[in-house]
Amino acid sequence: MAHRWTNDLTRADATPEHVWLNRRQILGAGVAALALGATPARADALEPNSWDEITSYNNFYEFGTDKGDPKKYAGALTTAPWSIEIDGMVDRPGTYSIEDILAQMTIEERIYRFRCVEAWSMVIPWNGFELADLLDMVGVQESAKYVAFETLYRPEEMPGQRTRFIEWPYVEGLRLDEALHPLTIMATGIYGKPMPNQNGAPIRLVVPWKYGFKSIKSIVKITLTDVEPPTSWNRLQPSEYGFYSNVNPKVNHPRWSQATERRIGGGLLSPRIPTLMFNGYEDEVASMYAGMDLTKFY
């Protein structure tokens, strides 16, 4: 595939599985939210954790706003059978089962830096396939400019959807060139294991140069459109969350700085390091934003 991307990170660069999302480290630091980012970095060995600890601190508001709610309630989510409706400006619209999709995709492990909104970071391997391959499968029409995503709406299994915290269902969007970029994947697992429910089972979006606001989980619908789609965070608080959500150390969030970060597992006394533009993927993605005022299009 001409768009296939290869990465020079290895498992040795990844935060060890047993310390990924170390609940005690994160809770002790008071981290408020998770998000995505990317830059190569070697992880230090940390205190071993159980799988329960690894997956017990998550943002998945469909199950509640407390970081422990997804672990507590996501077991009730039914993830099989699962299908994704793909419509809009495509040649082959339809409802595709996840089995049929996976049968046509090349599953790879991608090791990206996982970045926390309040400037903590880790490196973690995701298993999945390029979103571009899925869009190739359905045939994107020339008039399409954006890709919209929608999360499952099932309040009987997702108690957070019984509240009005966010307008449900959760929605997200990318510009088409962002969606087609080879770094952008649809993730179906972590560390070679199926995606846990609380992390977005059975399929979620991973965009490594953006925050977790582009990490829509449990996707059931994808729409190709020529109009910029709404996104849940932008719709909820447009003064804080723009459509693009790029990692940019020069543009602070109104409530925190993006300029530096600290590796998860190093403890509160570990040194902060400069946050890299686009989380270290500036060479790969900066050309998509050439000429844009990124303080305006944040």
By the 8 A CB rule, do 27 and 71 touch? no
Rounded Cα gap, residues 225 and 138, in angstroms: 14
Going along the chain from its start, the domains and CATH numbers come out as 11-289 (3.90.420.10)
As beta bridge partners, residue 273 has 261
Question: Checking phi first, is residue 91 left (phi over 0); if not, alpha (psi -120 to 50) or beta?
Answer: alpha
Structure confidence at residue 212 (pLDDT): 74
Rounded Cα gap, residues 187 and 114, in angstroms: 13
What is the block-wise mean pLDDT of the chain (298 residues), using blocks of 10 residues? 56 54 38 30 33 63 92 96 98 98 95 70 82 98 98 98 94 98 95 92 95 91 98 92 92 85 70 89 96 93
Structure confidence at residue 257 (pLDDT): 84
| pLDDT tens track for 93-116 | 999 999 999 999 999 988 887 766
Structure confidence at residue 6 (pLDDT): 60
| pLDDT tens track for 141-190 | 999 999 999 999 999 999 999 999 899 999 999 999 999 999 999 999 98
Structure confidence at residue 183 (pLDDT): 96
